[in-house]
Amino acid sequence: MSDSPEPSEEPGLGLDLPEVPQKPISASPYRVLARKYRPRDFSELIGQDAMVQTIGNAIERGRIAHAFLLTGVRGVGKTSTARLIAKALNCIGPDGKGGPTINPCGVCEPCVAIAEGRHIDVVEMDAASHTGVDDVREIIEAVRYASVSARFKIYIIDEVHMLSKNAFNALLKTLEEPPEHVKFLFATTEVDKVPVTVLSRCQRFDLRRIPSDKLAAHFARVAEAEQVDVEPEALNVIARAAEGSARDGLSLLDQAIAHGEGHVTAAEVRTMLGLADRGRIRRLLESILSGDAAAMLAQLDEAHDLGIDPTSLIRGLMDSLHTVTRAKAGASRDALQSEEERDAAAQWASSLNWAGIHRLWQMLLKGLNDVGQAPDPQEAATMALLRLIHAADLPDPASLVAKLSGSDAGAAAAAPAAAPAKPAGPRSYRELIDALHGAGKRILSQELHDQVGLVSFSEGELVLKPLRPLGADWTRDLAAALKDVTGTKWIVSFTDQGGEPSLQQQEQIAEETMRSAVLDEPNVRAVLESFPEASLDSFGPAQATRD
């Protein structure tokens, strides 16, 4: 019997087909960064130094609580901390003779088994899926028996606030007097939902949000370990977007690495996070503040055609206005913002006064409520933004008081206006504030406006009454700034005697005076009497005027 022919010799199978290259199959599946870089010991747990020190001291002195409650926002390390505590309590050292330690070896059998989630004496339970009293009864029955191989039998219950009321009640007695070989570690994001009877039986640790600078440094180390080139600004943006959560930040970094194909830039991260569309919000706010109704309506229609929700537009405007407010108050810069956003915020902060900003915020807040309740949200958004444009033409409260009273009483309470960078010889306290503001000394200008009262003003000398602590060097810094702005030497001193209210307080008094004047108007009073539930919440385009 002849041998079977080779496949290439059979009819129709002698075609010279190209070989399809096969991708090598990885020996192990890909692990996301949030799991791959979980802390292996307390030294890798970032941002929780106070808690680590407390636990370390307790272990060193043998004062280990029978129950720990770890609370904080998602991703700050609650479950990871619980596992680290389990390792610290059960570590036996490389030689098998060690005791509880804040620095577990990570190589002994208990440490390895706990890290891999397979230790028989360390039980993890998710209370979100085991909420009933029967699940707790299993724990109560099991705690009576000694641990199999570990020093302590440890129960880690995640999202403990999800347990039912009956389950909590069933756990109370065991939690109050557990056997010496048992430790409970609870983790929750909503500590307010945990009964006080449980809280009183636990040693509580509030895990803080991780500061952005520490997150950025941590992400830089991860990127280096992954051999990925990431711009420092991109790391700052990711850290800021993570809102204090290491897990959220690592997930964003994972996504950014996949998006950037080996090189991650800040611009790409902002685009990935959906921050690129802030330019549309910025242009819309610019049209509103400049009073260009036609441009505003065109931009609103364009956003509608693109399917952008009106609620998102209003919230975006509120976020931009909040950025302007922070810039006016001299707050630190936000890493999520582009240079264009920062420049625009600084420009608007210098041109808007505080009364105008607060009025715009209140009107946006009302507009957001209108959009949520209106049958047609797009129409409600249009009317709300038109109100904003007309509100920009309204006089400030102090000017309106002056008009109502027929005097210049409101002039002193007017908000600081933009001034030349270096005016020649300020002739009044307000001109002095304007000069500082125009020269870029915005923090000092704002503090003069809000936090001190004027006692006396003369050329080259300023006596003030501080309304709140300003620091030992504040008068010296102000004198140096005034010399830089005006070109002459100034003497600045504090006193606790006399003094006017701050300009901010004067503005508030003027606004209340105006409000009282408006409420005393016969037509306004008649409307409020006809509609008892109505109130004068803010001054819109048609308010605060007298026939």
Residues 524-545: tens digit of each pLDDT: 676 667 666 666 655 443 333 3
Rounded to an integer, the average pLDDT of 496-501 is 80
Which residue(s) pair with 183 in the sheet? 154
Whether the predicted pLDDT of 318 surpasses 70: yes
Percentage of the chain with pLDDT > 90?
Answer: 19
Residues 228-247: pLDDT tens digits? 999 988 898 888 888 888 99
- Please state which CATH number belongs to domain 33-206: 3.40.50.300
pLDDT band at 422 (very low <50, low <70, confident <90, very high): very low
Place of tokens 């006016």: 328
Burial class (CB in 10 A: 0-12, 13-18, 19+), 352: buried
Q: Which amino acid is at 49?
A: D
Rounded to an integer, the average pLDDT of 272-276 is 68
Which pLDDT belongs to residue 398? 55
- Please state which CATH number belongs to domain 278-391: 1.20.272.10
Whether the predicted pLDDT of 29 surpasses 70: yes
Which pLDDT belongs to residue 539? 47
CA distance 269 to 242: 12
Rounded to an integer, the average pLDDT of 209-222 is 90
* C-alpha dist (Å) from residue 122 to 76, 117, 134, 148, 387: 21, 8, 20, 10, 62
pLDDT band at 405 (very low <50, low <70, confident <90, very high): low
Whether the predicted pLDDT of 22 surpasses 60: no
CA distance 489 to 500: 24
Rounded to an integer, the average pLDDT of 375-404 is 74
Whether the predicted pLDDT of 353 surpasses 80: yes
Residues 467-489: pLDDT tens digits? 888 877 888 888 888 888 888 88
Which pLDDT belongs to residue 17? 45
- Please state which CATH number belongs to domain 212-272: 1.10.8.60
Percentage of the chain with pLDDT > 70?
Answer: 81
Triad 145, 149, 151: Cα angle to 5°: 80
Whether the predicted pLDDT of 413 surpasses 70: no
CATH fold group of domain 396-547: GMP Synthetase; Chain A, domain 3 (3.30.300)
508: tokens are 């508030």
Element (H, E) at 165: helix 165-176
Q: Taking the CA atoms of 17, 23, 25 and 29 in sequence, report the sign of the dihedral they define.
A: negative
Least confident span in 307-321, 367-381, 414-428: 414-428
Whether the predicted pLDDT of 193 surpasses 80: yes
Whether the predicted pLDDT of 188 surpasses 90: yes
Of 8, 111, 115, 101, which is closest to residue 58 (Cα–Cα)?
Answer: 101
Which pLDDT belongs to residue 421? 43
Are residues 459 and 425 in contact, defined by beta-carbon separation less than 8 angstroms?
A: yes
Higher pLDDT, residue 161 or 409: 161
Region(s) of the chain under CATH 1.10.8.60:
212-272
Region(s) of the chain under CATH 3.40.50.300:
33-206
Whether the predicted pLDDT of 96 surpasses 90: no
Q: Which amino acid is at 153?
A: K
Element (H, E) at 466: strand 461-466
Region(s) of the chain under CATH 3.30.300:
396-547
Which pLDDT belongs to residue 121? 92
Least confident span in 375-384, 508-517, 523-532: 523-532
Rounded to an integer, the average pLDDT of 391-416 is 53
Q: What are the CB-based long-range contacts (under 8 Å, 24+) for 202-205?
A: 202/65, 202/67, 202/68, 202/69, 202/175, 203/65, 203/67, 203/68, 203/69, 204/68, 204/69, 204/71, 205/51, 205/54, 205/55, 205/68, 205/69, 205/70, 205/71, 205/81
48: tokens are 């929780």
Rounded to an integer, the average pLDDT of 435-463 is 85
Which pLDDT belongs to residue 542? 37
Residues 124-137: pLDDT tens digits? 998 888 888 888 89
Mean of all residue pLDDT scores within the chain: 81
